[in-house]
Chain A
Amino acid sequence: MSQSLLDGQAEAAPGPARPLDPRTPSPAGRVTGLRQALRFVLRRPGLLLSVVVLVLVVLAAFRPELFTSQDPLKGVPSQNFRGPSGSHWFGTDELGRDVFSRVVHGAQLSLKATLIAVLVAFVVGGLLGVVAGFTGRWVDDVLMRFVDILLSIPALFLSLAMVTALGYGTVKVAVAVGIASVASFARVARAEVLRVRQAVFVEAARSSGARWYSMLARHVLPNAAGPVVVLATLDLGSSILAVSALSFLGYGAPPPAPEWGTLISDGRNYLSNAWWLTALPGLAVAATVLATNRVARALDGERGRRP
């Protein structure tokens, strides 16, 4: 979260305006673009690995039965505290439940929470930013001061305050995390709208008599969306971390649910005799975040390089 906060400020800093490229790619250009993108990924082993990890995580979220046939909730008490082995890749927990299957099934909860968080931040923040940037004047002042205030409260504290008010649960935690990163989205969206609004083709549209809503929908939004979408991908990684931190603290889904943060905090009680209960689920979280961040950085770099 705080990382995106920094990004947001970097974006908001006044700098040389990037020139706009209103050309739309032709169908042929799109095919070569796809081939180029493929070559770009294949040339970078780290990026390729990240894409593979992400695909696996998304698959695990939608079709957990592809990865494991074991029930994440049903344990075999006689087989508790087994270390990682061929039949139990991540070992078993205190009730004899298969930890790998719990991690795989947990992907769904954690991914859902992450997507909700990013969506809340994207929609609320984007809306604030677009309204502020497009309306200007006192509306802009009021909205952006409000955003400054959100930025001055440390993200986790803001999330915790939201959790206190809303209560526990996966969705509520996700909303709380999303609200905490609204501010950076609002800043980037506003900066982009301001940049696009001054472009020649927007002026041309206005002078040829376009209404404000068609100007907004046809010219400003499509051209301003890119950086905000990139910010959303950058925000995914930190949202996974924030959601899992809140569920580690015990504000997520109630106990039997295998949320990633909850898994790690459960394993905490058996740290001295069963290292795999914390180490391996944590590894899954870390790998997912690392992969997300790598892909997001690649997208960010792409945007930066293209004029």
Chain B
Amino acid sequence: MRRYVIKRLAQAVGVLWAAYTVSFLVLDFLPGDPVSAMAGAGMDSGQVDPARIAALRHEYGFDKPVLAQYADHLGRALRGDFGDAVSTGRPVTATLADALPQTLRLTGAALLLAAVLGGGLAVLATYTSRRWLRQLLLSLPPLGVSVPTFWVGLLLVEAFSFRLHWFPAFGNDGLRGLVLPALTLAIPTGAQVAQVLAKSLLTALDQAYVETARAKGAGRWRVHLRHALRNASLPALTVVGLLVGQLIAGSVVVETVFSRDGLGRVTAAAVTAQDIPLVQGVVVFGALIFVSVNLIVDLVYPLLDPRIVVASDRRAGIA
């Protein structure tokens, strides 16, 4: 067990380092010159002052050799310093930390909704013996992954804010303001949870132990929830790890639609302003969230299914 934990931790750190490197390469060496973008921010192109460019080059260390820049940046990133956001001048880490609570609240609520709605749908669709209901329920997840989130969000605003006046259309106010954005964000995620869970539930219901439980006289609900769902939820749990990264990224669109403050709005603004340090901070942070959630899922896994550790010691795990 201990070897397993240490190995997974080392992999997680390795992936984070690599994600940092990839974002460094993408942002600092692709065509768009970061410095002229920074110097040109907020004014018409062509009016960039060469002296300002030189000053910025020096300030950000772009006049040094590439490897030295990389080592310098990486060293500071390890201490949690991603530099200052160009558009605001505030440290990137502080900007992200300020925006984070709102987004965590949003994604947390969305994850909960997705689990409840998607899980409920899968359980109901596999439980019901009415053919039409099952087909209706099973046709919803493909629909859920096909609709653009921003469109769903706007339709919800249209219906529940402008017509019915039940929920505010935008802003960060309390629980009422959270309902529509969380629902919007939860729809594609919930649909994927439902797809995975329904599939593994159907597999589980075919297993011999379900037959045994039925033969011993357990009720249908009991067999369905206690026996089948318990085993079927393992694949769904793996997916949840992957979906959290998607939720965090989805907050970019949802927070823009609902004009909520948070990580997503910060990201959208940073991309618009070509604020490279901030975008890099967001990318690495996204990878950090993704890697940590998957690490947690991997560490919880052996508790739920003791066979996992044995298997993963034999086969090199995928970070």
B253 & A153 in contact (Cβ 8 Å cutoff)? no
Which of chain A's residues has its CB closest to B11's CB?
A148
B31 & A278 in contact (Cβ 8 Å cutoff)? no
Q: Mark A257-268, 1 if CB is under 8 A from B, else 0.
A: 000010011011
Mostly helix, strand, loop or mixed at chain B's interface?
Answer: helix
B147 at the A/B interface (Cβ < 8 Å)?
yes
Residues of B within 8 A of A285 (CB): 148, 151
A229 at the A/B interface (Cβ < 8 Å)?
no
A251 to B243, CA, bound (A): 24
A216 at the A/B interface (Cβ < 8 Å)?
no
A153 & B290 in contact (Cβ 8 Å cutoff)? yes
Residues of B within 8 A of A293 (CB): 142, 145-146
Residues of A within 8 A of B149 (CB): 245
> For B151, B249, B276, which residue has the most chain A Cβ atoms within 10 angstroms?
B151
A194 at the A/B interface (Cβ < 8 Å)?
no
Residues of B within 8 A of A248 (CB): 148, 150, 253, 256
A6 to B287, CA, bound (A): 17
Residues of A within 8 A of B250 (CB): 156
Interface size on B, residues (CB 8 A): 57
The stretch of B20-28, B171-179, B209-217, B300-308 in contact with A is B20-28
Residues of B within 8 A of A162 (CB): 26, 30
Residues of B within 8 A of A139 (CB): none
A163 & B271 in contact (Cβ 8 Å cutoff)? yes
A160 to B256, CA, bound (A): 14
B279 at the A/B interface (Cβ < 8 Å)?
yes
Q: Known contacts being A2-B246, A244-B148, A249-B256, is A158 close to B283, with CB within 8 Å?
A: yes
A149 to B14, CA, bound (A): 9
Which residues between 264 and 288 of chain B lie within 8 Å of chain A, taking CB atoms? 267-268, 270-272, 274, 276, 279-280, 282-283, 286-287
B154 at the A/B interface (Cβ < 8 Å)?
yes
Residues of B within 8 A of A282 (CB): 147-148, 151, 154-155
B148 & A245 in contact (Cβ 8 Å cutoff)? yes
A95 at the A/B interface (Cβ < 8 Å)?
no
A152 to B22, CA, bound (A): 11
A294 & B142 in contact (Cβ 8 Å cutoff)? yes
Residues of B within 8 A of A167 (CB): 31-32
Report A's interface with B, CB cutoff 8 A.
2-3, 5-6, 9, 12, 14, 145-146, 148-150, 152-158, 160-167, 237, 241, 244-245, 248-251, 261, 264-265, 267-268, 271-272, 275, 278-279, 282, 285-286, 289-290, 293-294, 297
Q: List the 9 shortest-distance A-B pairs measured between CB atoms, nearest first.
A: A282-B151, A156-B249, A165-B30, A154-B249, A154-B245, A290-B146, A149-B18, A289-B146, A157-B286
Known A-B contacts: A163-B271, A249-B253. Give 13 more (CB < 8 A): A9-B318, A152-B319, A157-B267, A157-B286, A161-B26, A161-B27, A164-B32, A237-B145, A245-B253, A271-B157, A279-B158, A286-B148, A286-B151
Write 14 A-B pairs (CB below 8 A) sorted by A numbering. Answer: A14-B315, A148-B15, A153-B283, A154-B286, A160-B279, A160-B283, A161-B279, A241-B146, A249-B253, A271-B157, A271-B162, A278-B158, A282-B155, A289-B148
